[in-house]
Structure 1
Amino acid sequence: MKRTLTYTIENEITVLDFLKRHGYSHSVITHLKRTPYSILGNGNWLYVNDRLMPGDTLTIHLIEEESSAKILPVPMDLDIVYEDEDILVLNKPADMPIHPSLNNYENTLANGVADYYQQKGEAYVFRCMNRLDRDTTGLTILAKHMLSAAILSQDVANRAVHRTYLAIVEGTLTGSGTIDAPIGRESNSLITRCIDYEHGERAVTHYRSLACHNDLTLVSLRLETGRTHQIRVHMKHLGYPLIGDYLYHPDMTKISRQALHSSLLEFTHPITKKAMKLSAPLPTDMQKLFPDF
């Protein structure tokens, strides 16, 4: 992967300070320092302590020549919602983990993306910015190089990446509201989470009822925090658990997986700074339960 970025300098500043102000992390700057001719001022190789003057042209060459070593490329049909030089946004299907793990070596999103870039002849390191559970469908952002990953990671930490989900819950839920209840790990379990007012981390979910049908409710949910299983635990706590949730409401009579879909992502593009708003329609298995939505 090779990415060239060009800046016109407006004020006197060191290269190091300029890069820091533009979101270059310590690891990215270290990579640039170790790569010959990766930092050029008016065409000349610069060091990070060199000074830039108004009107100077700063050119950065980001070069990554090695792909993720432990991810096997596997051909898959990827639903690409958006792609440019810096990011890739995919609509992930159900029954697909994000990363390889025990017993999931060849069936993950990472495997499909590795093959996608192998076919293009491009080196690629898999960097997922908003991970989804295996059976949660919808939008996920992948950074295509270390700089976009660094900036997006900081944006996620600062809650500047806004995520909206659609879920189908058991029961008739009307109106809207906010669930502010801390989530912690359930005792004696490595997987399940629960509401834990003593030891849990703060978790905030905003919900709005969209439609009710056959004692089910289609709900829009906006995350303010990003705790593990946050929506699933919060909706169960509210008394309206997600249908098909094998951990928290194992009723598979209406759907074979938790009815949860990442439908909307709003964020600032890490490089162009353009406002991004991307959406993915309700998947078929959820659409069948709300055919008029």
Structure 2
Amino acid sequence: MGARLDQAAAQLFPEFSRARLQSWIRSGELRLDGTKGRPRDAIRGGEVLSLNAELESEVSWTAEALPLEIVYEDEELLVIDKPAGLVVHPGAGNHNGTLVNALLNHRPDLEAIPRGGIVHRLDKETSGLLVVAATLNAHRSLVAQLQKKDVQREYFAIVRGVPSGGGRVEAAIGRHPRQRTKMAVVAAGGKPAVTHYRIARRFAQYTALDVQLETGRTHQIRVHMAHRGYPLLGDPVYGGRLQLPRGASERLAAALRGFRRQALHAQRLSFVHPGSGDHCSFESPLSDDLEALLQVLAEENSVQGGQASGLS
């Protein structure tokens, strides 16, 4: 009672975006009691909404035959293990060579899914798991699960410094007030963001963390850990220029200089399957560059007389 036509349509057809439904109302493909209406028309109750529309492509990007590490795939979704260095979504300066370009080549039907099925993203230099919706039903379900914080995302990170223990960071994130390509913890106007972390291994001047996202803001882990005083190793954006530890061996110095990305890996991903309702959980082993870096850090600890500890 009293709702707008486009609002009622959004409730009846939740798998479609509000913008798409409004477009269909204007074109007459979505009708109210058999007649063409306007998105703002009021609904009294008892009317019949009928939809007769052909799904057009949601994306206009080019399919490319690029390698994909597919962890799981069915009719509803795919789980991808993304390597570091791969951009997820086409954008300014990255129209080709992205994960979406590869996905469209593998599953052309993803053209009909918003954003090519991408429901959450990883930064270019972050490796690991992400889920891709392959149907409108899966897209609606996964987006809803993310909004309700029902998707579990766990990361492995190496930070500069040695926290005394695990913790929780609750600090709103928004655009940096002066450097607009960066995000930052902001006092006003930011979106709520919560990150949990615990110690995985301690080294002389670095710490490996297990990190869990409660929210999913842009660059959230990188921003929150830098805000806490423990920037990610290899992150020039939020950690500044490389600072070699005092007394670092030549091998450690070479390893740190050669690690050219933020030390962040999406290692575990859990959600409810949109079709079956089953709980799905996936795990990705650490990438080779992270394993090699951990080995050097552990050996440096041994040389300096320290002991890399296990879970705390």
Bucket of the pairwise TM-score, normalised by the shorter protein: 0.7 to 0.9
Checking the alignment, whether the CA contact within 8 Å between 1:127 and 1:144 is kept in structure 2 is: yes
Supply the AA of the counterpart residue of 1:241.
P
Query: Does structure 1 residue 156 correspond to structure 2 residue 156?
Result: no
Tell me, what secondary structure is at the counterpart of 1:153?
Answer: helix
CA RMSD in angstroms, aligned pairs only: 3.0
Aligned to 2:80: 90
Alpha-carbon distance in 1 for matches of 2:236, 2:270: 29
Alpha-carbon distance in 2 for matches of 1:199, 1:184: 7
**Cα separation, partners in 2 of 1:144 and 1:263, compared to 1, 3 Å:** same
How far has the Cα of 1:194 moved from its partner?
1.7
Select 1:283's aligned residue among 276, 280, 287: 287
Tell me, what secondary structure is at the counterpart of 1:262?
Answer: strand
**Cα separation, partners in 2 of 1:145 and 1:197, compared to 1, 3 Å:** same
Tell me, what secondary structure is at the counterpart of 2:277?
Answer: coil
**Cα separation, partners in 2 of 1:102 and 1:26, compared to 1, 3 Å:** closer
Alpha-carbon distance in 2 for matches of 1:254, 1:172: 22
Alpha-carbon distance in 1 for matches of 2:226, 2:111: 43
**Cα separation, partners in 2 of 1:238 and 1:25, compared to 1, 3 Å:** same
How far has the Cα of 1:253 moved from its partner?
2.0
Alpha-carbon distance in 2 for matches of 1:231, 1:254: 22
**Cα separation, partners in 2 of 1:137 and 1:83, compared to 1, 3 Å:** same
More off after superposition, 142-151 vs 207-216:
207-216
Query: Does structure 1 residue 133 correspond to structure 2 residue 137?
Result: no
How far has the Cα of 1:68 moved from its partner?
5.0
**Structure 2 unaligned residues grouped into runs of 5+:** 1-10, 31-46, 243-255, 299-309
Supply the AA of the counterpart residue of 1:262.
A
State how 1:117-132 maps to structure 2 within 5 Å: 117-118=107-108, 125=113, 126-132=116-122
Supply the AA of the counterpart residue of 2:166.
S
State how 1:83-232 maps to structure 2 within 5 Å: 83-118=73-108, 125=113, 126-232=116-222
How far has the Cα of 1:174 moved from its partner?
4.0
Larger Rg: 2
More off after superposition, 250-259 vs 168-177:
250-259
Over 3 Å off, 4+ runs: 23-31, 63-69, 121-125
Checking the alignment, whether the CA contact within 8 Å between 1:24 and 1:151 is kept in structure 2 is: no
Among all aligned residue pairs of Structure 1 and Structure 2, give the percentage whose two residues are the same amino acid.
35
Alpha-carbon distance in 1 for matches of 2:105, 2:79: 16
TM score, norm. by length of structure 2: 0.71
Checking the alignment, whether the CA contact within 8 Å between 2:103 and 2:110 is kept in structure 1 is: no
Alpha-carbon distance in 1 for matches of 2:189, 2:77: 36
Tell me, what secondary structure is at the counterpart of 1:290?
Answer: helix
Checking the alignment, whether the CA contact within 8 Å between 1:64 and 1:123 is kept in structure 2 is: no
What are the superposed Cα offsets for residues 122-169 of structure 1, whole Å, 9 maximum, x if unpaired?
866411111111111111111001111011111111111111111111
Alpha-carbon distance in 2 for matches of 1:64, 1:275: 33
Q: How many residues are matched? A: 248
Query: Does structure 1 residue 263 correspond to structure 2 residue 253?
Result: no
**Cα separation, partners in 2 of 1:64 and 1:246, compared to 1, 3 Å:** farther
Alpha-carbon distance in 2 for matches of 1:151, 1:182: 26
**Cα separation, partners in 2 of 1:198 and 1:287, compared to 1, 3 Å:** same
More strand per residue: 1
Checking the alignment, whether the CA contact within 8 Å between 1:91 and 1:138 is kept in structure 2 is: yes
Alpha-carbon distance in 2 for matches of 1:184, 1:122: 31
Alpha-carbon distance in 1 for matches of 2:112, 2:150: 25
Aligned to 2:278: 274
More helix per residue: 2
Supply the AA of the counterpart residue of 1:218.
A
Checking the alignment, whether the CA contact within 8 Å between 1:114 and 1:124 is kept in structure 2 is: no
Aligned to 1:17: none
Select 2:230's aligned residue among 207, 225, 240: 240
How far has the Cα of 1:84 moved from its partner?
0.8
Tell me, what secondary structure is at the counterpart of 2:146?
Answer: helix
Supply the AA of the counterpart residue of 2:68.
L
TM score, norm. by length of structure 1: 0.75
